[in-house]
Amino acid sequence: MLTPEKLEKLILKYDIAYNHDILPGHTKEKIRWVLPEGIANAMAFEKAESFFIGFFEDGVYVFPVINDWEADDPTVFEWESIRSFEVKKGVFMENELHLITDQMMLELKIPKRMANNPWVKENAIFLNSINYNCK
């Protein structure tokens, strides 16, 4: 489970200058197959991968989540190497991050809030207030 303690551990482990600029994120879930059964359908989804995403002065840090919401070493996208950066505001629960460099394209979902984790909503509000979505 994602907790404030796990976020604090991430900050301490990587010596991050934290300013409410980290959010959780995940890959888009994709449907692998659908089996129609009368009025209900059975669906199998590909497993979504989770991340912590940091929006810092020197770039975007994407920390893969391993085990029980423990973070692994980040992939760093420096602002100079980013050709396109956009956060599309979602209507309901999630925004979409689109980041393009010369080497890759990254698309992630970013929740606006999470149950029992008020820091997610607080960080999302702070990041919106500084217009992080249009760097």
45-82 pLDDT, tens digit per residue, is 556 788 999 999 889 999 999 888 888 999 999 999 99
51 by Cβ neighbours in 10 Å (0-12 / 13-18 / 19+) ranks as buried
Q: Is the pLDDT of residue 83 over 70?
A: yes
Q: What is the distance between the alpha carbons of residues 99 and 87, in angstroms, rounded to a whole number?
A: 9
Indicate the pLDDT class of residue 132, thresholds 50, 70 and 90.
confident
Report yes or no: 34 and 41 within 8 Å, Cβ to Cβ.
yes
- Mean pLDDT, the chain, whole residue set: 84
To which H or E segment does residue 97 belong?
strand 94-101
pLDDT for res 3: 82
Q: DSSP secondary-structure letter at 73?
A: P
53: β partners: 23, 62
- What does the pLDDT average to over 25-30? 78
pTM above 0.85, yes or no: no
Report the pLDDT averaged over residues 123-130.
90
| Separation of alpha carbons 84 and 134, rounded Å | 10
- Do residues 4 and 24 touch, judged by C-beta distance below 8 A? no
At 43 the pLDDT is 47
Provide CATH code, domain 4-130: 2.30.29
Torsion of CA 84, 85, 88, 89, to 10 degrees: -160
Are the C-beta atoms of residues 114 and 2 closer than 8 Å to each other?
A: yes
So where are the chain's domains? 4-130
Give the sign of the dihedral formed by CA 50, CA 15, CA 87, CA 99: negative
For 30, half-sphere exposure in the C-beta direction (CA atoms, 13 angstrom radius) is 6
pLDDT at 16: 85
